[in-house]
Structure 1
Amino acid sequence: MKSQEVLKNMLARIDHRGYPAYKELQGMYDFGAYMLSIDHVQGDPFAAPSKVHIEVSGQKAGFPKEYYDTEDKRTAVQDFVLRLFAGEVQNYSFQAKGSGKSGLLSVSRCGQEILSRSACQMDNHTGSVTVRLEIGFPAHGRTIDAKALEKILFGYLPECVKKTLYFSAVPAKELQKAVHLAEDTASLRRQLKEKNLAAFVADGAVLPRQSGVSDRPMRDAFPFQSPKSLRVEMHLPHAGVITGMGIPKGVTLIVGGGYHGKSTLLRALEAGVYNHIAGDGREYTVTDDTAVKVRAEDGRSIHDVDISMFIRNLPNGKDTVHFVTQDASGSTSQAAGVTEAVEAQTKLLLIDEDTSATNFMIRDVLMQRVVHGSQEPIIPFIDRVRELYEKEGISTILVAGSCGSYFHKADLIIQMNRYEPVDITEYAKTQAKEFPLAQSENPAYKKSSHKRCPKASKRADDRVKIKTTGLDTICINKENIDVRYIEQLVDSEQLNALGYMLAYAQKHLFDGKKTLLQITDELYEKIHRDGIESICGLSYVPAGLALPRKQEFMAVVNRYRG
């Protein structure tokens, strides 16, 4: 541990030298109120910025123990502090001028969801706070501008720390509101199980988003109002009694005309596996936290997946118990998606007719008459949806705009009318009697006994290069993984984390003996025990990592062609 005076002297000594001299600054420095650690120095001003972290002891930070004694509350406090810190840092970014990334101060930019991030971590025992950021060390050309860096490290950063990382400095009422919201949301999730519900949408919730590129709530949107037949009360420790629509476990159909809010409701339920910040409009919209959105994905890679529950007797004789393809069709990809979701221990499938393969979802009476069942290898989802619930306890919420056959299978039918839900179960069931469903001749559902045990196809490299593109692609050592259709990934930092997690699993866990679920459980146990830094294989902790759910990790492994 070095003093801040030592750092100042080092900066004075290397001023106007060549850029590599910045490497001498690596180490930890005592700033009295906090510790500053320079973890990694960029190679030149045009390279990725330098990595820095700040540590404030629990005694000095002063956050009350009851604010971080559970994971939900601790994550909420971390998120709150990080947003404050990022807002302050933004005021100083590029105030120091120079070549390339000189003067850049970069911190994670949080969205509407509250995620566990490496950028801000609070120790669950001591309450110490660690914030990680990136700084572009200033230079002109490749000549060090140490005075500009001194201004950042001794002027800008101390101001940001002073205003955001101490309990005495943060807006107390707003922080308390965030902690209380975390407790209320945790209570809501417990009550889902107690009341046998798959999801809950509070009255007054704002579900529509501003636009396709903004996840903020739409202004002047219709507030959600639950139908009386589905209205339930939830008793929360801080918000008190709230009411809303409870969607029971089972098979639920969401219908309605175009642009009336069917897909908007489904998207809110997809996002309901995460907690949301106050003011998002979906704070009290919660979904079974194992829920998986399933869709068709033409062209995806499938490796050793048992899709025989849906597809059998392919004309080319291809094995559907150990199905492998590098270019899946819509129906085979969706069949694999459901099977993989079951493997990932989901208890709720979310499906939108618009993004599904029609032949996977339904075969109408006329088609069954013309094309005999013996000539059709696909067992449509409609013939399995009830079996999945009755034999596996897996519920389904399905959005349908054109297929009425699912009326026969549904326990609950909700019609969206101008963004307002109406329970039409009794009426729809009565009408469905006039259109009897053809009797299925398919074999009964049988749980797959197939166990997949991933094995690395080649020796994992010691040096791993990970690159991500938005929410679309993870690239590991030039091997791309298309994750566009894993629709419950909401933050690019989740992709960063998934890259490191997959690289670690490939090197240490893919032994051909453990199942994918066992590998996933072992990986998450290590992360929760030792921190996400334990699987990165770096000398420092990357700032831009957000922990995804187990279901998303398994989905990425399933799409990895390597």
Structure 2
Amino acid sequence: MQLLEAKLHKIDRHNYRSYSSMRGEYTFVDFDFFIDTVQADPYAPASRVRARRKWALTDLAWLKDQSQDYQRAARDFIARQFADLSQQENGIQIDRPGQVILDRTAVVFDEEGIELRFRINLPADDRKIIAKKAMNLMTFTMPKIIRRSTIARELPIEEMKRHCEAVEDQVALRKQLEENNLLAFVADGSVLPRLAGNVDLPMANAIPFECPAELAIELDAPHKGKIRGMGVPKGITMIVGGGFHGKSTLLNAIESSVYDHIPGDGREYIVTDESATKIRAEDGRCVHNVDLSPYISNLPMGKDTAAFSTQDASGSTSQASWLQESLEAGAKALLIDEDTSASNFMIRDERMQALISKKDEPITPLVDRIALLRDQLDISVLLVMGGSGDYLDVADTVIQMHNYQALDVTAKAKEVIATHPTRRTSEGSEILPLPRTRQLNRAALKTMLEDGKFRIQVKNKTTLRFGRELIDLQALEQIADSSQLYTVGWLWFQLAQGKGWEKQPSKAFENMLNDDWFRTMPHYGDLAKPRAIDVMAVLNRMRKADFK
């Protein structure tokens, strides 16, 4: 600490860039402090720093003996404590977690101890260094926050244990989905609605979820014990009901539950197959050499759909592309809401078939392919549908949402099918192959980085800058945090170091995202683990990506 103080005294009132001389390692009484990067001016992104405390000084060494999931939750909890303690201090910031518990780098455990990774805004007065303020920040305020967030007697240990046990419970529930032939599980008492469209907190006084008896199942959680709830079976499940009764709300809760949620979120006992991917129409997006022929063929001007590319996809081609890309990346379940879908991709009714003959219609609608997805490719589909009953013919389960409560109306749906048979003609072939795996040009990624001065930047969870390209990701609703996008950029950076074409990019990213994924990353505290499926989804939206 004395060395840090001496350096600050030496550069007092110097030009702001003199702060760069402080990069390095410093020894405090009970932790080591590292200044890794120093901001170039007061308005640049804050400086990156780390603090490492030995286990013996924390009374938290027992965490090393816990499961990886318990440790992930404990690291998340410590990051939240640090964020709470530093919220009154604008000069210190850590990557603040939201409602989901991700594998983050803000707090890292190793054999030696606990490492905190955060940012410090170094103080200035009109681009002049204020040593006294900087010294107070780094030798008084910062050590106090570090100690209080990494020592057992200062932490609410029982609350931390509940936090960690909730994660272990969710992981255990998710592992039981496969053996019970389920796509998802929604526990009784769950709170599905959110406070607002842009706020992920639970809605106050919301009606708790209660499952219908026909779909009720009990799963075992190691800490909570037996939990009763609704099992959403594999296969084709429709969510129906009147407007404003909670159809999309149920789907949104299920789509977000590929991740674990914090206690009190209301969704902490909802779990979903972690490969489940929500797809939608996305006008104007790019598409790179995707085989759309099972859904779109015979385009005007003879345009090939077996290796379809465009920089301006329509609603139907974008949704068909997303479906094929998701299967290529390993998705075993698709989540679809008719409100955000292209109607001509979803359905062609009897009257439209009579008006426009099949030979003049390039699109084979999903209603004629969805059963093949289930029967030939073992892909489950959870579909919110309020406007077309033609999907009832292929649905295995039909759930009606009424006043935010679920009703099993599968039997009633079968009666409707018998009394109101469809008159539309099924279209499309009886064979549905898996989409082929495209190869990715590593050199193209490297060139983009070099041309853009190796910039990987994220401002929010809807935009990633890679080199010079800004990638629009507003449609990717399952990206939970901007820190995941930052990791996506660094994964691409790593892949770009190889040569030639990557033959199986999705598997390559899956291998990179192992338990030690962050050890190959920079020592940054604002990285969070994404799903490999989402890494590919972002890559598919990079306009200069090169696939073959």
Fold conserved between structures, TM > 0.5: yes
Q: Distance in 2 between matches of 1:476 and 1:68?
A: 39
Shift of 1:533: 5.7
Residue 296 of structure 1 pairs with residue 281 of structure 2: yes
Q: How does 1:288-367 map to 2 (within 5 A)?
A: 288-367=273-352
Runs of 4+, deviation exceeding 4 Å: none
Three-state SS of the structure 2 residue aligned to 1:168 is helix
CA offsets, 1:459-480, max 9 Å, x none?
A: 3545411232422211222211
SS at match of 1:464: coil
* Residues 208 and 461 of structure 1, relative CA distance in 2, 3 Å threshold: closer
8 Å CA contact retained: 1:188, 1:234 = yes
Name the structure 1 match of 2:405. Answer: 420
Equivalent of residue 492 in structure 2, options 473, 497, 502: 502
Conserved in 1, the CA contact under 8 Å of 2:448 and 2:468? no
Q: Distance in 2 between matches of 1:440 and 1:494?
A: 42
- How far apart are residue 65 of structure 1 and its match? 3.6
Alignment partner of 2:220: what SS? strand
The equivalent of 1:99 in structure 2 is none
Q: CA deviation at 1:127?
A: 6.5
Report the Cα distance in structure 1 between the residues aligned to 2:63 and 2:431, rounded to whole angstroms.
48
Is 1:175 equivalent to 2:154 in the alignment? no
* Equivalent residue runs for 1:210-289 within 5 Å: 210-289=195-274
Structure 2 segments unaligned to the other structure (5+ residues): none
Q: Any idea what the Cα deviations from partners look like across 1:345-367, whole Å, max 9, x if unmatched?
A: 11110000000001101111121
- 2:235/2:396 contact within 8 Å kept: yes
Among 2, 6, 9, the alignment partner of 2:6 is 9
**Which stretch of structure 1 is more off in the superposition, 368-377 or 169-178?**
368-377
| Inter-partner Cα distance in structure 1 for 2:302 and 2:83 | 57
Matched, 1:551 2:536: no
- Summarize deviations over 1:367-389 as a string: whole Å, max 9, x none: 11222212211111111111111
**Do residues 514 (structure 1) and 500 (structure 2) align?**
no
Cα gap change, 1:20/1:223 in structure 2, threshold over 3 Å: closer, same or farther?
same
Matched AA of 1:183: E
Give the secondary-structure state (helix, strand or coil) at the position aligned to 1:415.
strand
Provide the C-alpha distance between the structure 2 equivalents of 1:469 and 1:444, rounded to a whole number of angstroms.
Answer: 46
Q: For 1:361 and 1:393, locate their aligned partners in 2 and report how far apart those are by CA, in whole Å.
A: 20
Residue by residue over 1:258-279, the C-alpha shift from the partner in whole angstroms, topping out at 9 and shown as x without a partner, is 0000000000011010000000
Q: In structure 1, what is the equivalent of residue 123 of structure 2?
A: 138
Contact 1:297 1:328 in 2 (8 A): yes
Asked if the contact 1:291/1:347 (under 8 Å) is kept, the reply is yes
CA distance 1:64–1:246, shift in 2 (3 Å): farther
TM-score normalized by the length of structure 2: 0.95
AA aligned opposite 1:550: A
Give the counterpart of 2:460 among 447, 470, 481.
470
- 1:186-197 equivalences under 5 Å are 186-197=171-182
Matched residue, 1:39: 36
For residues 470 and 448 of structure 2, the distance between their equivalents in structure 1, rounded to whole angstroms, comes to 15
Q: 1:334 Cα shift?
A: 0.5
Which of 497, 503, 520 is 1:534 aligned to? 520
State the Cα distance separating 1:13 from its structure 2 match. 1.9
Cα distance in 2 between the residues matched to 1:561 and 1:469: 19
Q: Please, which of 478, 482, 485 is the counterpart of residue 488 of structure 1?
A: 478
| Aligned residue pair count | 539
Say whether 1:451 aligns with 2:434.
no
Opposite residue 542 of structure 1, the aligned amino acid is Y
Counterparts of 1:461 and 1:299, CA distance in 2: 24
| Amino acid across the alignment from 1:15 | D
Task: Identify the match of residue 117 of structure 1 among 73, 87, 104.
Answer: 104
2:25 corresponds, among 15, 19, 28, to 28
Check conservation: 1:119, 1:543, Cα contact below 8 A: yes
> Could you tell me whether the CA contact under 8 Å between 2:55 and 2:61 is conserved in 1?
no
The alpha-carbon deviation at position 28 of structure 1 amounts to 1.0
- What does the per-residue CA deviation read over 1:169-209, in whole Å, with 9 as the maximum and x for residues that have no partner? 21111011112112111110111112111000000000000
CA distance in 1, matches of 2:216, 2:184: 12
* 2:393 pairs with 1:408: yes
1:198 aligns with 2:183: yes
Counterpart of 1:459, as a letter, is T
Deviations 1:86-130 (A, max 9, x none): 11111222xxxxxxxxxx22111211000111211122xx26211
Task: Provide closer, same or farther for how the CA distance between residues 293 and 5 of structure 1 changes in structure 2, counting only shifts above 3 A.
Answer: same
| Aligned residue identity for 2:486 | N
**Secondary structure at the residue paired with 1:406?**
helix
Structural mapping, 1:386-405, within 5 Å: 386-405=371-390
Q: CA deviation at 1:516?
A: 2.3
Q: Distance in 2 between matches of 1:21 and 1:65?
A: 42
Aligned-residue Cα RMSD (Å) equals: 1.7
- SS of the aligned residue for 2:184 comes to strand
1:319 maps to amino acid: D
Aligned-partner Cα distance in 1 for 2:190–2:512: 36
With normalisation by structure 1, the TM-score equals: 0.93
Quote the offset at 1:26 in angstroms: 1.0
Kept after mapping to 2: 8 A contact 1:36/1:53: yes
Structure 1 unaligned residues grouped into runs of 5+:
94-103
Counterpart of 1:486, as a letter, is L
- Taking a change above 3 Å as real, the CA distance of residues 472 and 324 of structure 1, as seen in their structure-2 partners, is same
Cα distance in 2, alignment partners of residues 469 and 445 from structure 1: 44
